[in-house]
């Protein structure tokens, strides 16, 4: 049975120059979730990131935004997991996904890094453990691998941003299911959000 989630981590790069870029969609999500739950983030230097204490429907939890850059996300994730004794199976990592179009969002349990530098560093920092849950928010592929870096470090178009914000808002409504481990139910709801199959093996 899927584990409950004690820690929701949004990935991104710190600094105002990156705030509205595609690569910071993980930050967008946890910021919106914090606003919905009525909590605020606080920088915790020893954890290398911003933490918000939250009350999920059936248990307490935390939201986290690493203060490290994307390719060093694992440094911060390992620090908070060690400090609060949180297992990888009890983590949800929210990140941008170039292999999905804008307006698409999917849940995935475990797996590789898919070429995502943040996921790669997290897996390495967790000593190869890949069993954390991922919420993948589509930002689209630019069409060529040579321009992927530039693509994710740019702002999405107004149309794409509207589509991304729509699925973020819809997915936030499913957080109570996700954090309690009701992944099949949440995936069925995501299916209707995306308008196409969003299920992946859990």
Residues with active-site annotation: 23
Cβ 68 vs Cβ 75: under 8 Å: yes
Cβ 116 vs Cβ 132: under 8 Å: no
Residues 6+ apart with CB under 8 A from 198: 104, 105, 106, 107, 187, 190, 191
Q: How many Cβ atoms are within 10 Å of 19's Cβ, its own excluded?
A: 14
The rounded distance, in Å, linking the Cα atoms of 109 and 161 is: 26
Kind plus residue range of the DSSP H or E element containing 151: helix 148-152
Q: Name the nearest CA neighbour of 2 among 178, 199, 171.
A: 178
Encode 51-85: b = buried (16+ Cβ within 10 Å), e = exposed.
Answer: bbebebeeeebbbbbbbbbbebbbbbbbbbbeeee
């Amino acid at each position: 049975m899927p584990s409950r989630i004690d820690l929701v981590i949004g990935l991104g790069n710190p600094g105002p120059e990156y705030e509205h870029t595609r690569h910071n969609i993980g930050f967008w999500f946890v910021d919106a979730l914090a606003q919905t739950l009525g909590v605020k983030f606080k920088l915790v230097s020893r954890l290398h990131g911003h933490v918000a204490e939250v009350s999920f429907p059936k248990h307490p939890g935390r939201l986290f935004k690493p203060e490290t850059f994307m390719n060093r996300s694992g440094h911060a994730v390992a620090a908070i997991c060690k400090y609060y004794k949180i297992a990888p199976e009890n983590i949800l990592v929210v990140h941008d996904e170039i292999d999905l179009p804008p307006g698409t969002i999917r849940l995935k349990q475990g797996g590789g890094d898919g070429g995502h530098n943040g996921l790669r560093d997290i897996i390495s920092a967790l000593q190869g453990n890949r069993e954390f849950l991922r919420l993948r928010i589509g930002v689209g592929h630019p069409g060529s691998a040579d321009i992927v870096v530039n693509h994710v470090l740019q702002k999405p178009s107004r149309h794409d941003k509207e589509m991304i914000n729509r699925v973020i808002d819809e997915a936030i409504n499913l957080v109570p299911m996700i954090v309690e481990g009701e992944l099949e139910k949440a995936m069925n709801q995501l299916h209707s959000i995306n308008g196409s199959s969003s299920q992946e093996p859990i």
